[in-house]
Amino acid sequence: MMEFVTVLRHPLADEQLQLIRNKESNISTFRAAINRLGQLLAIEATKDAPTEKAKVTTPMEVETTVSVLRDDKILLVPILRAGLGLVESFLSFLPKAKVAHIGMSRDHDTLQAKLYVNSLPKDLSEFERVIVLDPMLATGNSCIKALEVLVEAGIDASKIRVVCAFAVKEGLGQIQTKFPQVSVVTATVDPVLTNIGYISPGCGDAGDRLYLIG
């Protein structure tokens, strides 16, 4: 496995993946499984989240030093539309994090990504970590476009982490080649990218299963 990629290795993640993969899972089951898997991904993806030291007094009337999460220094960037499925998972642990949306449409003939939404704040200097959210890292074209937008806006690539549920080597390879400072956290790396740009065995179209198919 590529060194810049972290793959979740946990029975709790495997349990959610089997629900997500199963074509018999209805929309509520699929959403719940994505949410739970997203929480596990959030824990892994924030192991180096910004913190600061503070003093608190315990019920024993003893003052002690604690570590306080600076989640206000974190920017979540879901790639529309499927990336929205991971936002609440992350906000459950990072309630002060900001959220900016990047929207991509895919040309089904060329598989190239076209930007249609960019809600990044003008001042990005306050953020110490940017987490790009997209359940599926397939061709990598949408993710690469989003990374280009972030870097052009002034974000240091070393501050960016891509989080996905499914990945394939083609998409991972694109990131490693074009943005080697960006790290990736994924629940699994599947073996096949089909000729129409889908991950196999995968879970189908994550956006459709989150929002359109009951």
As a whole number of angstroms, the distance between CA 140 and CA 167 comes to 9
- What pLDDT does 115 receive? 84
Question: In this predicted model, what pLDDT tens digit does every residue of 109-158 receive, in sequence order?
Answer: 666 778 888 999 989 999 999 999 999 999 999 999 999 999 999 999 99
Distance from the Cα of residue 34 to its chain's centroid:
12
Name, in order, each residue with C-beta under 8 angstroms of 94's C-beta and a sequence gap of 6 or more.
Answer: 42, 46, 49, 69, 71, 74, 76
Q: Using the predicted structure, report yes or no on whether residue 15 has a pLDDT greater than 60.
A: yes
pTM, rounded to two decimals: 0.92
Strands 192-193 and 199-200: antiparallel
DSSP state, 122? S
Domains of the chain listed by start with CATH number:
5-211 (3.40.50.2020)
Under 8 Å between Cβ of 140 and 174: yes
The reply to whether omega before 201 is within 30° of 0 (cis) is yes
